[in-house]
Structure 1
């Protein structure tokens, strides 16, 4: 038994009418209550039966307790007898039938699950979990459905976060945030204004091409919704009819038309739409609810009750439906005794045209279709009395059937849901409105079999629909701009390096550039993965090969032609040229975070020697410019010059100082210490303001190395000194190119002597 019913075992909604009545044993009633809490409903029912037999006058509250225990124990037919006894004494309130309704719904649910296992024989292609439609609808949506309205995307609009919704849904959404990732307006203010919402050109074209008929139907549907809001019901129903003529099997569309028909009091056609929905999606609770509501509105309460039961079998926590079922059952029980004048005054059912129903044939079906167990029922004189009162003409409404077979509650319905077929003509409903035409869904006798998700016809699939208009190749990491155009991420970035306008419509994208919200359009990415996986794999392979080539820091090193750079020395850069924006971005994307720095050369374009820089941090400005914090890591010699996408490249080899040993090493160490002391003296003699400027830009003079040959590029203090000394670039370049530390120290000593002599006294 499901959790909802088990929870009720812990408390009772029925009180004894007279707990102190003679014959009642408080201890026995306590035992019965404890048995109910423990789930032993048979014992509880026997105790309640024995207590009732001891009473001179039937106690209504005890009858209800017995009925509840019998119902929970699965003996619904016997429970009905006790409910009838209680109803005979005083009309049943809806809340007193809560357990009966829950048990019936649970029994239907269990029986249907069992039937499906038998029918499907373990076939995964046919078997679908009975609860699947009970899950959140979003889990069952395909790629082409809006996550807000759950319908086909209409005027699909892609937000900067990458998620796509209907434009109308976004405009109507009061939260003004993406329902998938909860992107807030302050992160993209323009896109969350009405003027900022633009239709995704690529997705819109694909929807029109692949689902032309449904797309048209959806537009008529929305037009009908608009007219309905304006209370123009006649024209609204015409729009809905046109939409259903185009697409007769959209359940949500049928739902809306059924609701409109009920507002027009055309309950017959609303019932037809509800029946169509139940056949199309038999496990969708909303379909049975619409059908039940239509039956109820038409005054056909017994049929409405059947659909309410099935709603609860599919969705047990639907409180409103449970209450409606309880109200109908309450009214039916009271109506049984109306002819004998035993029913108390009841509130009329609000939906139906009549305030009272005839003796219920449904209760007869319930009673006769359930298994009976006379030995355990403990039928008392009260039971015999109650059964004798349920007469309808010449037949007993609740007549016992000793030989009845156990067929379960599913006998209440035409057939188990998944076994329903349109093998017989539809029942004659009320004539439809003159404004309604007989649509396909209500007139056909067989319905198509649907698999989950819309199917795209293979002849409509064309990879050319997914080509970037900039590189003319298949989209790779597709990004949609706020103006609705889609490009490859890398293509868009390169275009925005040169101009902050859309490459196609020329709309200004400065704000989009400032946020740098280059998120992939997930819908297009998923469509590529589903329909063009091979082409996408090939496109990815080409991209990876390009990135591998760019990351080879020997064969094709990007060269920034600007200023002198030295190993271990910081080199901050202000990047604003489009070619260098691209170069810096690629160095980050490849993961190397490195590029070469050379000074310009009039003949070759850049010098034959330079320094490799490593990016430590990048700060972007809203207009695309950036400040790049780099530091020198190694020297190199250029073997060949080249170009790529506007910036220079080079094939290089790295430079290292030649190491010396023995006497040469001893001489090198003396020279190293001497030049360092000379450099320290020069720096110490500088004016404070000049020293402060040098320190703020390059830092303090590095300490003297214990082993000057430890670093392949030599001691760090040499490069610090070379960077701060007032030398021309050509002189600095000459020293940078030296591969002997001794030669470099001698050159630095000469410079120090020169600047010391030149310094004004």
Structure 2
């Protein structure tokens, strides 16, 4: 049940037990309730009227229910009469006028929407103005607006997550996380402290270049906010005045100056600023709210009420405004009567030119000269009051607006729109025409508020978007905590060598430890919007580089370190900058492979090696990493090379030659014999040595039924070769063999040798 009706019902139930309620008919009241549920509010009002006529003393609760029914039926003037009579019995509480306020606000909204849609001469930009103001403002922000203050970015600061805000907004709204992506401080603790906030150098320069006037105004505005916090109001207002001279049509700036004027008790100037806002953005609820607050502070309650209704028409769920409207309206209705029985003087609400949206219902209901329609009052025996406050000769200052339905949903029933608005359309001035006339005196150019600032084409220069490291257009731009922007790959390569910013030399060890190289989203969007062709060409070059790096037939990255064998794990500790780059590229290209060779004094690395596949990478805060790899195939080096500091090679893969017939039979016998010999050797080892081998290389693989099933030969051979105490050169010789028989013979010789040399 609606709160207002619930209050009235409680009051009514209480009144039924009083002597004055003895004449009430419960059945008729039930019919009235059913009529309300069915949307027939006129019938409900007539029943309430007839019931009131049967009473010796007027029942206030029933009178309020009648008033609510009249209001919801669109007969606001009649409803006001009933509310006034109830107020004469006892002052109205604000919550008792909830339905009246909702009806009026809903009617204004419905009326103005209908009128605006019928204006065929509306321009495209003005239509966008209406539509954009109806949308949630966060959806209307352009690239250059701060998510927090909704204004042009001032001292733009990019967090490590990639989102950019005003520096002052981050300082004022320090919530230990990004307000866009909710990045927590444990991922970037330094940047969420005030001392860690640094301005993005590139974006700051671009905004100053592209939006010079607005940028200057925002700086003065920001300075004024700082002085305001220090309660230096006189100097703060000077900063605001300077800012508005630069940007006279910035509504948010006007709103803040109006609020500052109110704090300085200069309500006249606050009203002027609010009036300007309402002309510039007539569909912005906050503009009407500030204007209402200024009127209220100045003691002009009737005008404040008018603006509160505009707020509710634009934003029906604004509870605080609804309560303020109810308070003012209850005071206005209750103040009709004074203790000596004489009516006070109430002036009609002035229409005023302050807003394009005029509260049409108030204009027709609160100060229209339309005559009352008393036809429906003939059967009423309800006591009436002669109130000069609502009279003007033979006309009523509060006329009944018959045949008018607000369309507000009933707490009992869905709205039944049986009546139509009958106000003379001539009383409503086309909003586009009025908007142009009102704005002529305030500013020369009215923003369209279409949600996008336009960058002058002559100020666009791709040189402003060049990375200072590679001197090419930014690709995947990232911004360091010190405020400098680089290509992601360029920055990573620099941090491989030194954990300091390449430009300002500030230590970035903490940034390096987080591995939070997130793209600066604003820079990325600017590139896509204004340098689409250049970015496409830059992306093409990058993709060609990645394709070249991923071709493991033409150029294989070579890690020069130790011996590696097929099927055998090979954990690596990577700390050299060149190998950091090599491992990173192998992951980025998706190959996750590179070659492993031992060093060679003449050639740089040996002519044979093993391809490794990355299974996992764990990074340390200082940039080092532990890479878990496993051998997958042998290769022969055809050509040695280098790339960006690390070795490369053109290779061909090695495979064992297969044999058949008697050779295969002999090979199987040799295979089984050497395996049994290897198993005996491993079994004879001491337990501590066996445990060390197993922890590092795993258990001895099982004997395979087909020794030629794998192009690289049986896995147990490579396991044994890895654990046997052999020099690298001897291991390399066996690795390069492409005949399984030769490899088995070599392993048997080694087993015989180590068995004889083993201490007893």
TM-score normalised by L of structure 1: 0.87
Hey, what's the Cα distance between the residues in 1 that align with 2:16 and 2:411?
33
| Structure 2 CA distance for aligned equivalents of residues 429 and 209 of structure 1 | 44
Give the C-alpha shift of residue 502 in structure 1.
Answer: 0.6
**Which secondary structure does the structure 2 equivalent of 1:742 belong to?**
helix
For 1:525 and 1:3, the matched residues in 2 are separated by 51
Asked if structure 2 preserves the Cα contact closer than 8 Å seen for 1:60 and 1:89, the reply is yes
Change (3 A) 1:727 1:449: closer
CA contact (8 A) 2:574 2:625 kept: yes
Between 216-225 and 691-700, the greater mean CA deviation after superposition:
691-700
Between 742-751 and 74-83, the greater mean CA deviation after superposition:
74-83
Which range moved further: 238-247 or 735-744? 735-744
Question: How far 1:265 sits from its partner (Å)?
Answer: 2.9
More moved, 614-623 vs 219-228:
219-228
How far did residue 274 of structure 1 move?
A: 0.7
The answer on whether the counterparts of 2:255 and 2:273 sit within 8 Å (CA) in structure 1 is yes
Residue 269 of structure 1: CA displacement? 2.1
Q: Mean Cα displacement is larger for which, 729-738 or 172-181?
A: 172-181
User: Residues 403 and 71 (structure 1 numbering): CA distance in 2 closer, same or farther, change over 3 Å?
Assistant: closer
Please state how far the C-alpha of 1:238 moved relative to its aligned partner.
1.2
Between 679-688 and 575-584, the greater mean CA deviation after superposition: 679-688
Cα distance, 1:627–1:562 mapped onto 2, change above 3 Å: same
- In the TM superposition, what is the alpha-carbon distance from 1:433 to its structure 2 partner? 32
CA deviation vs aligned residue, 1:709-746 (integer Å, no higher than 9, x gap): 11110100111111122222222112111111112112
- SS across alignment from 2:648: strand
Distance 1:232 1:193 in 2: 26
- Tell me: CA distance 1:113–1:391, structure 2 relative to 1, closer, same or farther (3 Å): closer
**Structure 1 residue 522, shift from structure 2 partner:** 1.3
Paired residue secondary structure (2:447): coil
The CA deviation at 1:236 is 1.6
1:697/1:92 Cα in 2 relative to 1: closer, same or farther (>3 Å)?
closer
**Structure 1 residue 399: Cα displacement:** 5.1
Q: Which moved more, 1:346-355 or 1:416-425?
A: 416-425
| C-alpha separation in 2, matches of 1:131 and 1:599 | 70
Q: 1:11 to 1:623 in 2, by over 3 A?
A: farther
Q: Tell me how far 1:685 sits from its aligned partner.
A: 2.5
**For the Cα contact (< 8 Å) 2:20–2:55, is it kept in 1?**
no
- Asked whether the equivalents of residues 273 and 442 of structure 1 are also in contact (C-alpha less than 8 Å), the reply is no
Please state how far the C-alpha of 1:249 moved relative to its aligned partner: 1.0
Name 1:683's counterpart in structure 2.
682
- Alignment CA distance shift 1:573-1:425 (3 Å): farther
Asked if the contact 1:97–1:329 (Cα under 8 Å) also holds between the matched residues in 2, the reply is yes
Contact 1:569-1:632 at 8 Å conserved across structures: yes
The farther-off stretch of 386-395 and 313-322 is 386-395
Given that 1:513 and 1:622 are in contact with CA atoms closer than 8 Å, whether structure 2 keeps it comes out as yes
Judged with a 3 Å threshold, the aligned counterparts in structure 2 of structure 1 residues 320 and 16 are, in CA distance, closer, same or farther, namely: farther
* Residues 461, 398 of structure 1: alpha-carbon distance in 2 compared, 3 angstrom cutoff: same
- Structure 1 gaps, min length 5: none
SS of structure 2 residue aligned to 1:628: strand
Aligned-pair CA distance for 1:686: 2.6
Partner of 1:397: 397
For residues 32 and 413 of structure 1, the distance between their equivalents in structure 2, rounded to whole angstroms, comes to: 11
1:123 aligns with 2:119: no
Closer, same or farther: CA 35–608 of 1 in aligned 2, 3 Å = same
Note the 1:460-471 alignment, pairs <5 A: 460-471=459-470
Q: Distance in 1 between matches of 2:354 and 2:558?
A: 89
CA contact (8 A) 1:390 1:398 kept: yes
Residue number in structure 1 paired with 2:160: 160
Report deviation, 1:228. 2.2
**Superposed displacement of residue 535, structure 1:** 1.9
When structure 1 is superposed on structure 2, of 132-141 and 276-285 the one drifting more is 132-141
Contact 1:77 / 1:370 at 8 angstroms: preserved in 2? no
User: Residues 105-148 of structure 1: CA distance to partner in whole angstroms, max 9, x if unpaired?
Assistant: 00111112222322369998654596854655322222212222
On the 8 A contact 2:360/2:428 being kept in 1, the answer is no
Distance 2:319 2:73 in 1: 23
After superposition, the CA RMSD in angstroms is 6.6
Distance in 2, Cα, partners of 1:448 & 1:632? 65
Residues paired across the two proteins, number: 760
SS of residue in 2 equivalent to 1:727 = coil
Retained in 2: the 8 A contact 1:579–1:645? yes
Structure 1 residue 436: Cα displacement = 25
Compute the displacement of 1:660 (Å): 1.7
Q: Residues 123 and 679 (structure 1 numbering): CA distance in 2 closer, same or farther, change over 3 Å?
A: farther
Rounded to whole Å, the distance in 2 between the matches of 1:743 and 1:683 is: 22
Q: Residues 592, 5 of structure 1: CA spacing in aligned structure 2 closer, same or farther, 3 A cutoff? A: farther
What per-residue deviation string (whole Å, max 9, x for no partner) do you get for residues 51-103 of structure 1?
12323443332221111011112222332332233334444332222111110
Distance 1:28 1:219 in 2: 68
Paired position in structure 1 for 2:274: 274
Q: Which region of structure 1 is more displaced relative to structure 2, 531-540 or 134-143?
A: 134-143
Change (3 A) 1:101 1:604: same
8 Å CA contact retained: 1:245, 1:440: no
1:284-303, Cα deviation, whole Å (9 max, x unpaired): 11100111122223333222
Distance 1:202 1:13 in 2: 70
Q: Cα distance 1:702–1:445, how it changes in 2: closer, same or farther (>3 A)?
A: closer
Q: Equivalents in 2 of 1:416, 1:299: separation in Å?
A: 37
Farther off after superposition, 631-640 or 389-398: 389-398
Secondary structure of the structure 2 residue equivalent to 1:381 = coil
For 1:453 and 1:577, the matched residues in 2 are separated by 47
Query: Do 1:44 and 1:69's aligned partners in 2 also have CA atoms closer than 8 Å?
Result: yes
Cα distance change, pair 484–662 in 1 and its aligned pair in 2 (3 A): same
CA positional deviation for 1:337: 4.1
Render the CA deviation track for 1:329-388: whole Å, top value 9, x for unaligned: 223223444597256999999999999999999687437488987666676243765578
> Does structure 2 retain, via aligned residues, the 8 Å contact 1:153–1:165?
yes
Aligned to 1:54: 54
Deviation readout 1:148-203 (Å, 9 max, x if unpaired): 22222111111111111121222222423211122222222211222211111111
SS at match of 2:13: coil
2:652 aligns to what SS in structure 1? strand
User: In the superposition, relative to structure 1, how do residues 35 and 391 fare at CA in structure 2: closer, same or farther (>3 Å)?
Assistant: closer
**Higher relative contact order by CA 8 Å / sep ≥ 6: 1 or 2?**
2
Deviates more, 1:292-301 or 1:658-667: 292-301
Q: Is the 8 A contact 1:156 1:166 kept in 2?
A: yes
Secondary structure at the counterpart of residue 321 of structure 1: helix
Cα contact 1:299–1:352 (8 A) shared by 2: no
* CA shift in 2, pair 1:390/1:483, >3 Å: closer
**Could you say if the C-alpha distance between residues 636 and 400 of structure 1 is closer, same or farther in structure 2, counting changes exceeding 3 Å?**
closer
Task: Give SS of 2:238's match.
Answer: helix
Query: Could you tell me whether the CA contact under 8 Å between 2:278 and 2:354 is conserved in 1?
Result: no
TM-aligned CA deviation for residue 391 of structure 1: 2.7
Rate the CA distance shift 1:470–1:439 in 2: closer, same or farther, 3 A: farther
Q: Secondary structure at the match of 1:648?
A: strand
C-alpha separation between the residues in 1 aligned to 2:360 and 2:722? 101
CA gap 1:152/1:692 in 2 versus in 1, 3 angstroms: same
Distance apart, 1:211 and its partner CA: 1.3
Q: Is the contact between residue 404 and residue 419 of structure 2 (CA under 8 Å) also seen in structure 1?
A: no
| Structure 2 residues without counterparts, runs of 5 or longer | none
**Shift in CA distance, 720/9, structure 1 to aligned 2, threshold 3 Å:** farther
Q: 1:389 to 1:160 in 2, by over 3 A?
A: closer
Q: Contact (CA 8 Å) 1:335, 1:356: kept in 2 or not?
A: no
Check 1:19–1:534 CA distance in 2 against 1; reply closer, same or farther (3 A cut).
Answer: farther
User: Shift of residue 425 of structure 1?
Assistant: 25
Find the aligned partners of 1:85 and 1:198 in 2 and give their Cα distance: 65
Q: Indicate conservation of the 8 Å contact 1:17/1:60, yes or no.
A: no
Distance 1:139 1:230, change over 3 A: same
1:463–1:12 CA distance, 2 compared to 1 (3 A)? farther
Q: Is the 8 A contact 1:60 1:86 kept in 2?
A: yes
1:668 deviates by 0.9
Q: Give the Cα separation in 2 of the matches to 1:421 and 1:481.
A: 63
Query: Greater CA deviation, 126-135 or 269-278?
Result: 126-135
Kept in 2, the 8 Å contact 1:77–1:368? The answer is no
Q: Deviations over 1:447-467 (max 9, x none)?
A: 454432222111111121111
TM-aligned CA distance change 1:55 to 1:600, over 3 Å: same
Partners of 1:59 and 1:299 in 2: CA distance: 34
Partner-residue secondary structure (3-state), 1:13: helix
Offset of residue 607 of structure 1? 1.5
Tell me if structure 2 keeps the 8 A contact 1:332–1:359. no
239-248 or 633-642: which moved more?
A: 633-642
Structure 1 contact 201–484 (Cα < 8 Å) conserved: yes
